[in-house]
Amino acid sequence: MKKQIDLTKGNIAKGILLFGLPLFFGSLFQQLYGTADVIFVSRILGKNAAAAVGASSILVTCLIGLFTGISVGTGVVVANGFGSKNEVRMKKAMQSAVLIGLAGGILLMAAGLIFSEKILLWMHTPEGIMANALIYIRIYFAAIPMMILYNICAGILRAIGNVRLPFWVLAGGGVLNVMIDAIFLKYLHLGIAGAAFATLISQGVTAVVLLVFIIRNEKIFAIRLAIDWEIIGSILKIGIPSGIQSVLLTLSNLVVQYHINKLGEDSIAAFTIYFKAENVIYMPILAFGQVMLTFTGQNIGAFNMQRVKKGVVQCNLLSAAVTICLAGLFTVFPSFLLEIFSKEKEINKLVLEIIQITFPCYFIYSIMEVTSSAVRGMGKALPSLVIMLLALCGSRILLIQWVTQYWNSVRAVAVVYPVTWLIAAICFLGYYHYCSIYVCND
């Protein structure tokens, strides 16, 4: 237990930062998988290949999101067990999640390989990048079982307060991904397939390392291997709505991608680069959200709702402060960030237009992320799904359809994001206020 952080006791802000920093740096290395692909692909293979990566990657994110929800459900159930000191329930939850993740990942991989071309056609992927996009996405689908397994294993370790191992494994995986990208693209000239294979190999290594550690150290198969339907039900009660929530969010982004694709290859490449550049701000927000999920899960398990309330306030303040600082820095001085990804002036000009609209509003997204994580950590995954469906996804789809009728440009698409963040943030704050009172009296 030495490497575990118990969020049910001690200074709240200190616990959030100690838990969150490894998550942030771990996410930083995780982003190397996709970012290295974009950098190597755009610089070595050109903007056509970079656009192909962008047009296909959002689809992969959508499908992975469904089973990533299982890792959220696992994390909450395991964190509850950790908070209540119920080790048997913890191990059963770990065991069940690994088995569900492997089976689901294989099914999802098969479905993706079969239907990927039809989905790319439905998304109106330009003919000039269709062949490369199809190659990239099919290889990516082969990596899905390992991606899902990694997310579940990392979720298990976070739930019991172990954030160091996932960080070091991700660091190694990120370095490995960059090395393989360089070898496959620059020296072996494997084209866009090389970028996808680099991701497949590095994700596979990280997933196997975490799984072996959990089996050896947490002894999850030391107890009798059996299906515990009650625990699986608890995981799925949170995991399925969380997974659907992730899918719906990405589906709304698929609709946005549809409108981006109609703007041409330069706009597709610009948004591909922007979605990678924004990770500089998004990663700290994601880390704070993950902290809040575990913090809430552990303290709900320990029946300490008052500590949850204090944690939500402090985590929101910390997350918003970090977001405002980073967004302000890169809005005022964007050139360094942009030149990492592309040297093409026309593309970077379009990316800058997007940044100037979205970055100043990113603190709103941080409030939405932290508060929604607290709601899910309380076990209220279905209401969270409804809010996400109506307030974020629904409004995003309606707004993009309306705006692009009168203002069909990258700026029009960019405006949609901060407006829908604000709508969703207000709804989550309102529901959290109600939910915190309800849980206190439950």
**Stretch among 58-62, 134-138, 354-358 having the lowest mean pLDDT:** 58-62
Count of domains forming the chain: 1
Q: Buried b vs exposed e over 173-191: b needs ≥16 C-beta within 10 Å?
A: bbebbbebbbebbeeeeeb
What per-residue confidence (pLDDT) applies to 166? 85
DSSP-based three-state secondary structure for 228: coil
Q: Determine, yes or no, domain membership for 177.
A: yes
Give the closest residue to 72 by CA, choosing from 292, 242, 305, 258: 242
What per-residue confidence (pLDDT) applies to 31? 64
pLDDT 10s digits, 394-412: 999 999 989 888 887 888 8
Confidence of residue 59 (pLDDT cuts 50, 70, 90): low
State mean pLDDT over 8-32: 82
What per-residue confidence (pLDDT) applies to 30? 66
DSSP-based three-state secondary structure for 81: helix
Q: Between 82 and 420, whose confidence is greater? A: 420
Q: Between 429 and 269, whose confidence is greater? A: 429
Q: Does the pLDDT at position 2 exceed 80?
A: no
What per-residue confidence (pLDDT) applies to 227? 66
Q: Determine, yes or no, domain membership for 2.
A: no
Q: Determine, yes or no, domain membership for 7.
A: no
Domain that holds residue 28: 12-441
Q: Determine, yes or no, domain membership for 1.
A: no
Q: Determine, yes or no, domain membership for 209.
A: yes
Q: Determine, yes or no, domain membership for 119.
A: yes
Q: Between 279 and 389, whose confidence is greater? A: 389
pTM listed for this prediction? 0.78
What percentage of the chain reaches a pLDDT higher than 70?
A: 89
What per-residue confidence (pLDDT) applies to 1? 42
What per-residue confidence (pLDDT) applies to 359? 92
Q: Does the pLDDT at position 68 exceed 80?
A: no
pLDDT 10s digits, 84-112: 777 777 888 888 888 888 888 898 889 88
State mean pLDDT over 303-322: 93
What single DSSP character describes residue 361? G
Q: Does the pLDDT at position 314 exceed 90?
A: yes
What per-residue confidence (pLDDT) applies to 34? 59
What per-residue confidence (pLDDT) applies to 223? 52
State mean pLDDT over 113-131: 80
Q: Does the pLDDT at position 330 exceed 60?
A: yes
State mean pLDDT over 204-209: 93
DSSP-based three-state secondary structure for 303: coil
What per-residue confidence (pLDDT) applies to 439? 59
Distance of alpha carbon 118 from alpha carbon 116, whole angstroms: 6
Q: Tell me how crowded residue 226 is: count the other CB atoms within 10 A of its CB.
A: 9
Q: Between 252 and 293, whose confidence is greater? A: 293
What single DSSP character describes residue 343? -
Q: Does the pLDDT at position 75 exceed 80?
A: yes
Calculate the average pLDDT of the chain. 83
State mean pLDDT over 412-422: 92
Q: Determine, yes or no, domain membership for 5.
A: no
pLDDT 10s digits, 353-397: 999 999 999 999 999 999 999 999 888 989 999 999 999 989 999
Q: Determine, yes or no, domain membership for 4.
A: no
What per-residue confidence (pLDDT) applies to 119? 78
What angle in degrees, to the nearest 10, is found between the helix axes of 127-142 and 192-217? 20
What per-residue confidence (pLDDT) applies to 395? 92
Distance of alpha carbon 327 from alpha carbon 356, whole angstroms: 10
Residue 9 structure tokens: 């006791």
For tokens 């692009």, the residue is 404
**Stretch among 25-29, 183-187, 408-412, 419-423 having the lowest mean pLDDT:** 25-29
Residue 58's contacts (CB-CB under 8 Å, 6 or more residues apart) are 250, 253, 254, 257
Task: Give the amino acid at 69.
Answer: G
What per-residue confidence (pLDDT) applies to 282? 87
